């Protein structure tokens, strides 16, 4: 049996931003079955489709460049696969590219995520000043709450690879480094910019790029 790994880029837009990662997985399973893909299954008493995501998208955030890796039992044509997926897809889920991976290529590892959001006009002037102050710092440590409400610290300044703000449009773009363990998220970034109260009120982030190791 000749197996094939394929890396798929897709977008998750519109109302789909309100479904969690587990629901998204179930949607993919149904989609792969409708498209009649020769997907590989894991072993054991509860076999699952062999697919993986280098980073699960947070609830409420649209993703314009998400990544999925899928293992197939037999080779397929990437263009045909892409067309079949889009033909069977649901509203808000669009498949952008499909790349066949060779045996030497490692599993996708997320290096950073690029987010984009629009800051309301009334906050723009102060945001410019806060960004300037933030970028001058060597370290900005804040507490991050996990699901168990145990406070852990992250260094927001150390985790921001790039931060840009366009005063004309109000567009704030941030590249956040991915790390093992507690890592900086949009909430922490907005907190240090004193915009955290606007999160999902007037500021709605979207992830526009997943940067992978080696790409």
Q: How far is CA 37 from CA 12, 31, 44, 58, 141, in A?
A: 21, 9, 21, 27, 46
Give the pLDDT of residue 150. Answer: 67
Average pLDDT, the chain: 94
Give the tens place of pLDDT for each residue, 76-107.
Answer: 999 999 999 999 999 999 999 999 999 888 89
Give the tens place of pLDDT for each residue, 28-83.
Answer: 999 999 999 999 998 888 889 999 999 999 999 999 999 999 999 999 999 999 99
CB distance 78 to 144 below 8 Å: no
* Two tokens, residue 143: 């507490």
pTM of the model: 0.93
Among 73, 101, 129, give the residue marking a domain's end.
Answer: 101
Residues 118, 202, single domain; the answer is: yes
Residues 81, 142, single domain; the answer is: no
Residue 202, domain extent = 110-212
Residues 91, 127, single domain; the answer is: no
CB distance 1 to 73 below 8 Å: yes
Residues 97, 191, single domain; the answer is: no
Among 64, 80, 101, give the residue marking a domain's end.
Answer: 101
Give the tens place of pLDDT for each residue, 197-213.
Answer: 999 999 999 999 999 99
Distance separating alpha carbons of residues 104 and 93, to the nearest angstrom: 30
């Amino acid at each position: 049996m000749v197996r094939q790994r394929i890396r798929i880029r897709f977008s998750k837009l519109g109302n789909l931003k309100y479904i969690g990662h587990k629901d998204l997985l179930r949607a993919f399973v149904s989609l792969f079955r409708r498209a009649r893909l020769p997907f590989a299954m894991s072993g054991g008493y509860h076999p699952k489709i062999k697919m993986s995501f280098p980073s699960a998208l947070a609830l409420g955030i649209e993703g314009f460049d998400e990544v999925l890796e899928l293992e197939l039992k037999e080779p397929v044509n990437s263009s045909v696969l892409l067309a079949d997926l889009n033909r069977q897809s649901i509203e808000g889920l669009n498949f952008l590219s499909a790349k066949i991976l060779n045996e030497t290529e490692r599993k996708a590892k997320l290096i950073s995520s690029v987010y984009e959001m629009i800051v309301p006009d009334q906050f723009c002037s102060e945001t410019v000043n806060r960004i300037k102050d933030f970028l001058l710092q060597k370290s900005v440590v804040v507490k991050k709450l996990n699901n168990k409400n145990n406070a852990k610290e992250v260094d927001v300044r150390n985790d921001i690879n790039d931060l840009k703000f366009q005063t004309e449009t109000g567009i704030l773009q941030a590249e956040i480094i991915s790390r093992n363990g507690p890592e900086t998220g949009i909430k922490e970034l907005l907190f240090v910019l004193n915009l955290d109260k606007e999160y999902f009120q007037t500021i709605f982030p979207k992830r526009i790029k997943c940067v992978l190791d080696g790409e």
